[in-house]
Amino acid sequence: MSGSASACTEGEGLLVMGAQDRNFACSNSGHLLAAGKRVRWKDAASDLDFPPVPFPSDRVFAVAGEPRLRALVLRHHERLRESSVGHLFARDPIRFAAGVERVADFIVEATGGPTRYTLLNGPSCMRTQHFPFTIDEQARDVWLTQMLLALDDVGFPDEIRREFWNWVEAMSIRMINRRTMRAQPNRYPWPEAPIKLRPLMTASPRPVMCPR
Amino acid sequence: MSGSASACTEGEGLLVMGAQDRNFACSNSGHLLAAGKRVRWKDAASDLDFPPVPFPSDRVFAVAGEPRLRALVLRHHERLRESSVGHLFARDPIRFAAGVERVADFIVEATGGPTRYTLLNGPSCMRTQHFPFTIDEQARDVWLTQMLLALDDVGFPDEIRREFWNWVEAMSIRMINRRTMRAQPNRYPWPEAPIKLRPLMTASPRPVMCPR
């Protein structure tokens, strides 16, 4: 986000859009606006690419074990609650704990453990279930950064980090539902992820976006 | 949006996501969550398709004339300001008028009139310039509905409605930056648009989405 956009206030849209946001990157300069004698077609395109997602084998559950996977999800959510996306998570401790348990059920089942998530919740539909919550590219980066730190917090076994990480790294792109840039989201494959995400580990709070 | 999502409150995320939003459509039921012996790849996909955009010929400007095009943009924005997306537009009358003038410059140039927009603003970059403002599929429908009504308000010539409309209908998809559903946005090609958009002309205010 540009600095000027972060300073916008509700109801000031028409001014902000044109006058102050020239520093947004623009990839449209090849298209002349002025009309000619004929209709001109601008090509089809697509916005957000979802890369393939490597769902893990049951080796992840076998090596990590259920207690460590559940501890990972709890630490991750404790970290998220204190992060710049903390407003997306329940303040009420009962609700927070229930949410953590459901996510842990998901992670446990998807890595080869008991199928409690599906039994209790049905098909997972992760993207659809996240639609009520505004998740932009930067929120995904925060989510991944806190996951990386949580892996260390719980001593996640080195031999399954790549398989686990490359799953959540790719899957997390599908949770993005608010675009703030033309470029595709950043990729953080293992083993480069800790280096690429390091700047985010000490980042100051994100700039505020314009309200809807 | 589901009714339950519209009732969510900030900080209640973890509960709302899992327990109450079962009525979101889900297209993921073919994918078993439980892990097996091997890594399983979920296929690549993309989120939002941008269809080709038929930029108008200069016949639109020649037939409509600059005063009517400017009146159209003003009526459209007066309507938008009073609509369910009114918060996106400046309340201050000076800023509102400046914004309307800039959009009118854009419409005039793109339909074959003077190139004032590009002279004053440079390349148009419409999608990028809308990033600070949360625009979902429903906001686009409102924008189109109010445009349709504004065409009538200013007596827009019948013989150029199709060419003008099919441009803005396709272009407006590229302004969507907040997804709230898996399906692609609705299409409203001319001449079906007035019939397809009729239910929206008398719609009650939209349900409130969860805050970010």
Burial string for B88-119 (b: 16+ CB within 10 Å, else e) reads bbbeeeebbeebbbbbbbbbbbbbbbeeebbe
Closest-CA distance, B198 to chain A, in angstroms, reads 25
Q: How many A-B residue pairs are in contact by the CB < 8 A criterion?
A: 309
Q: B168 at the A interface (CB within 8 A)?
A: no
Domain CATH number, residue B178: 1.10.490.10
Q: Which residue of A has its CA nearest to B118?
A: A33
Q: Work out the mean pLDDT of chain B and round it to a whole number.
A: 86
Between B203 and B31, name the one with better pLDDT: B31
- Per mean pLDDT, which range of A16-25, A37-46, A105-114, A152-161 is the poorest? A16-25
Residue B74 lies in a domain: yes
Between B48 and B7, name the one with better pLDDT: B48
Q: B96 at the A interface (CB within 8 A)?
A: yes
Instruction: Find the CB nearest A10 among B24, B87, B111.
Output: B87
Whole domain around residue B70: which residue ranges? 59-201
Q: Does A146 score more than 50 pLDDT?
A: yes
Using one digit for the tens of pLDDT, what is the confidence trace for B156-186? 999 999 999 999 999 999 999 999 999 999 9
Q: For B158, which DSSP code?
A: G
Cα–Cα distance measured from residue A70 to residue A106, given in angstroms and rounded to the nearest whole number: 10
Residue B11 lies in a domain: no
Question: ipTM beyond 0.90?
Answer: no
Supply the DSSP string of B30-97, one letter for each residue.
TS--S--SS-EEEPPEES-EE--EEEPPTHHHHHH-HHHHHHHHHHHHHHHHTSTTGGGS--SHHHHH
Mean pLDDT within A2-20:
37
For residue A56, the chain B residues in CB contact (below 8 A) are 35, 39
Residue B100 lies in a domain: yes
Residue A50 lies in a domain: no
- Is A152 in contact with A201 (CB distance < 8 Å)? no
**Does the distance separating the beta carbons of B54 and A125 come in below 8 Å?**
no
Sign of the torsion angle spanned by Cα atoms B137, B139, B143, B148: positive
Residue B19 lies in a domain: no
Q: Does A4 score more than 90 pLDDT?
A: no
- Is A10 in contact with B85 (CB distance < 8 Å)? no
Closest-CA distance, A50 to chain B, in angstroms, reads 5
Supply the DSSP string of A53-90, one letter for each residue.
EEEPPTHHHHHH-HHHHHHHHHHHHHHHHTSTTGGGS-
Name the band, by pLDDT with cuts 50, 70 and 90, for residue A15: very low
Q: Does A209 score more than 50 pLDDT?
A: no
**Does the distance separating the beta carbons of A26 and B212 come in below 8 Å?**
no
* pLDDT attached to residue B19: 33
**What's the half-sphere exposure (Cβ side, CA atoms, 13 Å) at B195?**
4
Total domain count for chain B? 1
Name the band, by pLDDT with cuts 50, 70 and 90, for residue A28: low
- Is A11 in contact with B91 (CB distance < 8 Å)? yes
**Does the distance separating the beta carbons of A41 and B52 come in below 8 Å?**
yes
